[in-house]
């Protein structure tokens, strides 16, 4: 597993973008104190999901109304149709570790990192 940030770097219901992996990932700390890690890029258009709004276990893309589940990565409505990858995370001694998915990411056309 790869250390990607400290728990203290996270703010409840806000995204934290990690660019040290390609493609970047977004880390979320929910009100239930669960940590979720998903691909940071919306599958519809090149937008950072870490800049989106978190509510009811989903993050809404800051450009459109598509929301992605923090647990499954599924998109709930157009314009996004494809899910984002979800990565397994674990908190150990206040540090967030991730096991990156080996699935092919669903990146939007023209996304460059």
CATH code: domain of residue 34:
2.102.10.10
Cα separation values, 14 from 11, 23, 49, 90, Å: 6, 19, 10, 18
List 15's β-bridge partners, or say none.
28
Tell me the residue ranges of DSSP E strands in the chain. 2-6, 15-18, 25-29, 35-39, 53-55, 58-60, 67-69, 86-92, 95-99
Mean pLDDT of 44-57: 95
Q: Tell me, yes or no, whether 108 lies in a domain.
A: no
pLDDT of residue 112: 76
Q: Band of the pLDDT at 107, cuts 50, 70, 90?
A: very high
* Average pLDDT taken over every residue of the chain: 95
Query: What integer is the mean pLDDT of 59-76?
Result: 96
Longest dimension (CA), the chain: 39
The pLDDT > 70 percentage for the chain reads 100
Average pLDDT, integer, range 48-73: 96
- How many domains is the chain built from? 1
Domain hosting residue 59, numbered range:
2-99
Task: Report the alpha-carbon distance of residue 12 to residue 46 in Å, rounded.
Answer: 24
pLDDT confidence bin for 111, thresholds 50/70/90? confident
In a domain, 22, yes or no: yes
Query: Nearest CA to 83 among 108, 100, 102, 65?
Result: 108
Q: Does residue 95 surpass a pLDDT of 90?
A: yes
d(CA 60, CA 52): 5
- Per-residue pLDDT at 94: 97
CA distance 32 to 1: 23
Q: Is residue 109 part of a domain?
A: no
For position 113, what pLDDT does the model report? 77
The band of 77, judged by pLDDT with boundaries at 50, 70 and 90, is confident
């Amino acid at each position: 597993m790869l250390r990607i940030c400290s728990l203290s770097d996270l703010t409840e219901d806000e995204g934290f973008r990690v660019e040290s992996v390609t493609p970047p990932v977004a880390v979320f700390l929910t009100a239930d104190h669960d940590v979720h890690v998903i691909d940071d890029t919306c599958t519809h258009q090149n937008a950072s999901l870490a800049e989106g709004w978190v509510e009811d276990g989903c993050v809404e893309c800051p450009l459109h109304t598509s929301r992605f589940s923090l647990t499954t990565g599924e998109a709930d409505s157009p314009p996004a149709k494809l899910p984002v990858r979800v990565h397994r995370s674990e908190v150990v001694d206040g540090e967030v570790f991730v096991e990156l998915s080996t699935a092919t990411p669903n990146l939007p056309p023209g996304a460059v990192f």
